[in-house]
Amino acid sequence: MSTTTPAPGETSLKSLLSTLITRLDPETFVFITIPPTQTYPPTLLTHMLFKEAEGLTIITTKSSAEAHDLKYVFPCRMVTLDVHSSLEAVGFMAAITEKLTERGIGCNPASGYFHDHLFIQTGREEETLEVLSEMAAAAKADV
Look at residue 8 in the predicted model and tell me its pLDDT. Answer: 83
Round to whole Å and give the CA distance between 87 and 2: 19
What mean pLDDT is predicted for residues 60-89? Answer: 96
What mean pLDDT is predicted for residues 63-77? Answer: 98
- pLDDT tens for each residue of 99-137: 999 999 999 999 998 999 999 999 999 999 999 999 999
Look at residue 100 in the predicted model and tell me its pLDDT. Answer: 98
Distance of CA 139 to the CA centre of its chain: 21
Look at residue 5 in the predicted model and tell me its pLDDT. Answer: 72
Q: Domains plus CATH for the chain?
A: 13-141 (3.30.2130.10)
Look at residue 65 in the predicted model and tell me its pLDDT. Answer: 98
What mean pLDDT is predicted for residues 82-107? Answer: 94
How distant, in Å, are the alpha carbons of 1, 44, 50, 73, 108 from that of 53? 30, 21, 10, 19, 19
What mean pLDDT is predicted for residues 6-19? Answer: 89
Look at residue 142 in the predicted model and tell me its pLDDT. Answer: 86
CA atoms within 13 A on the CB side of 123: 4
Q: Which of 105, 117, 1 is nearest to 59 (CA)?
A: 117
Round to whole Å and give the CA distance between 139 and 19: 8
- pLDDT tens for each residue of 21-34: 999 999 999 999 99
What mean pLDDT is predicted for residues 49-72? Answer: 97
Round to whole Å and give the CA distance between 60 and 117: 14
